[in-house]
Structure 1
Amino acid sequence: MTDMPSVSDLPYHLPTDTQGQLRVLARILDVSPTVAEQSGEAGVEAMCATILYRHLDRRQRIEAMEKIKSLPNKAFVAKLVKVTLDTTFVNPQWGLWSLTNEELADDIRFHQTVNKIGAITGATLSLSSGKDVITEILRNGRLGPKGVALLVIGVAFAGNSSELDASIQEQQRRSQIKDSPYFQ
């Protein structure tokens, strides 16, 4: 058996009690706090395995998946397996909690750059451009090419801003970053 990482290897300062850890980890992973709280210490270990999964070696991944799959609530297991595999093999950005500190900082810099470009070019969806889109719909009963372009650009910049906010929130969760070989 390999040395399986634990809650002490996460980049977060968590409560010392199991129920407190379950609540915080459920919030981080966006899973049902009620179901998480019912899973006890095994749930803490499974959620730690989920967060750390993409940073583990092959043997540790096997052990981590066994921990996750050992939970009795199969819907909870399915959710943890899905986010584990999605962030490892599909897109790490789907779980900011799975990013290393460096990856998270890069993500924030990227979204800040996009926001700056939008502000400099005036491409973000402003109140006046939103009003123009609504006026065009009311006047013509549909959205013309200009309105579609404004809407697409506005939505893209709004999405970028939302992603930036989420990344900053994750960085703040790690504001007192603990040393962890998995997140450097």
Structure 2
Amino acid sequence: MTVKIGFIVGSLRTASYNKKVAEKFAELLPADFEAVFLEIGNLPLYNEDLDVDGKVPVEWQAFRDQAAALDGFFFFTPEYNRSVPAALKNALDVGSRPYGASIWGGKPALVVSVSPGAISGFGANHHLRQSLVFLDMPTLQQPEAYIGGINNLIDDNGDIAEGTVNFFRTIISKYVDFYNKLKG
């Protein structure tokens, strides 16, 4: 059986470093794990007034249906003003509602923060983890995945430095072990 992992990239920028890192993670997954990229840039902002029969935006419902069918999640986030981008937080909110119908509960998560800065998206990484605790998503604790100075780790061809790719392999291996322990 193939384990389907939702990949959610918080940066909407076409040439996003987070997107490049997510694509590399997808390539490195073991054969029995499959990356499923979820679109979050098209989700209208969450508004409870719209979360009633006949008003639910089709984008919300499509996202909820797709995410509900997945086994776990990898979140890739830049840091905006010491927190996560609004699009990523909105996706969490859309998936957690209506009350009692969250699609997130019990699904193992991984948080990767990617930044050109030296502190590697530390604030965003930890803000995201706070939300995941509330959403009942067990999250891999070690190794922590802070990818700082990313602009110095990617060459002109878009290739990521081999030492960094090896770190990605370690993270993935630990997540697979974590996932298998949780899901038995």
TM-score in same-fold range (> 0.5): no
Q: Which has the higher strand share?
A: 2
TM-score tier after normalising by the smaller chain length: under 0.3
Which has the greater radius of gyration? 1
Tell which has more relative contact order, 1 or 2 (C-alpha 8 A, sep 6+).
Answer: 1
Q: Which has the higher helix share?
A: 1
When the two structures are superposed, what TM-score results if normalisation uses the length of structure 2?
0.26
When the two structures are superposed, what TM-score results if normalisation uses the length of structure 1?
0.26
